[in-house]
Amino acid sequence: MADEFRIETDSLGEVRVPSGALYGAQTQRAVENFPISGQRFGRAMIHALGLVKGAGARANQALGNLEEPLARAIAEAADEVAEGRWDDEFPVDIYQTGSGTSSNMNANEVLATLANRALEGTGHRVHPNDHVNFGQSSNDVIPTAIHVACRVALERDLAPALELLAEALEAKAHEFDHVVKSGRTHLMDATPVRLGQEFSGYATQVRKGVERIRRGADELAELPLGGTATGTGINTHPDFAAVAIQRISEATELEFREADDHFEAQGARDALVSAHGALNTVAASLLKIADDIRWLASGPTSGLSEISLPPVQPGSSIMPGKVNPVLAEALMMVSARVAGNQTTITVAGGRGNLELNVMMPVMAHAFLESVALLANGARAFTGKCVIGIEANEERTRELLLKNPSIATALNLHIGYDKASEVAKQAARQGRSVRDVVLELGLLDEEQVDEALNVRDMTEPGFPGDREGRQ
């Protein structure tokens, strides 16, 4: 049993650490102190920590703060962390110290161990605080890593996934442009629209969502690095932040910059709250789109059934042949989860007490979870649902013929009151508006056909008045 552990020390005394672990005493204390959720930082955040630590080491070497062998060993170890070689060495629970100090020290200890392995026999020795953390504090490193991780995730993962969804919806908008169908407001029959117009609206929602998240990503370009403990920059070189951030920009191929005000950048996490607001809006858009598609595909005999979704799996353990809109429902649940994360981030963002926000780890976790869920959900919805949607044109014509709201086009010919009577009679008797108008002798056949041209009703202008629209 003794071989399974080694003794490490920190300012509080001795700690038993698993013998094969790269981390040390402070990480082990955190593992023991926070057995809360079993959830750890994922790849995105560990990657960002590696980038930030590597950039810090290289900046400190360039500024003469670290000897070249030490800085090189730390930077190379940080590169390995960023690449994902040592993810298992980051065991600290998300629900930890609110500054993320445990995760910062976890990184410092792992990098020191890796660097010392590389330096063995050279006479050099790396210390996790004195060297790996030189010119830094958890209070500026962790929010910097959060901004880097979240911005990279938005730009590299979510934006492309949403663009693919928008393209698929735009393709369906073009494919369905000729299909005229009943519009609906309040879930009740309304004047006609084209199925392509509905899908065009969905595509535009998604396109606007991409614009929103990119504006949010721009807010995350400001990095707190260089503020150290309270935003003053104590114990760091005045040029450290600029040099390190330039290296982060080069590594990510995204433009980052030093915070305009380090006290705002460490005391508040407003940029993260704002950026997640864009994610929440995207989630609301996807909820609307997925739910609409469920409604349009409902049936096949007792619902709207204006479109058909690709069957991807049996829908019932008891009803043979039943197929459900499972991809739409999965995306709706993603949206619900993101809305919950919005609440978490809003509450946590308000805990920027004095010079430091003290709920950063859960904010990072919630934000990155939202990005991953939205990106993966959008990809699945696109590939397994949207691209396979088909229009049921016979059904759309059947429902449109019985839609009493097409009587709206008669307002210009027989007035609102008389058109209302026609609509009510058509609905009551289950007949078409055209038949009722002819039966009542309100217009002749040519006038009715001109007035009730449903394709004309889907465009601006006066239905039947082609010259007026030219």
Which are the catalytic amino acids?
A: 186, 316
Instruction: Tokens for 18, please give them.
Output: 């698993």
CA distance 83 to 47: 7
For residues 437 and 428, give the distance between their C-alpha atoms in angstroms, rounded to a whole number: 14
Longest dimension (CA), the chain: 105
Instruction: Give helix 138-153 / helix 360-384 axis angle, nearest 10°.
Output: 10
Strands (E) located in 280-388: 307-308, 352-353, 356-357
Helix (H, G, I), strand (E, B) or coil at 311: coil
Rounded-to-integer distance, Cα 54 and Cα 327, Å: 41
Ordered DSSP codes for 365-403: HHHHHHHHHHHHHHHHHHHHTGGG-EE-HHHHHHHHHT-
The helix (run of H) or strand (run of E) holding residue 261 is: none
Closest CA to 195 of 403, 405, 388, 455: 455
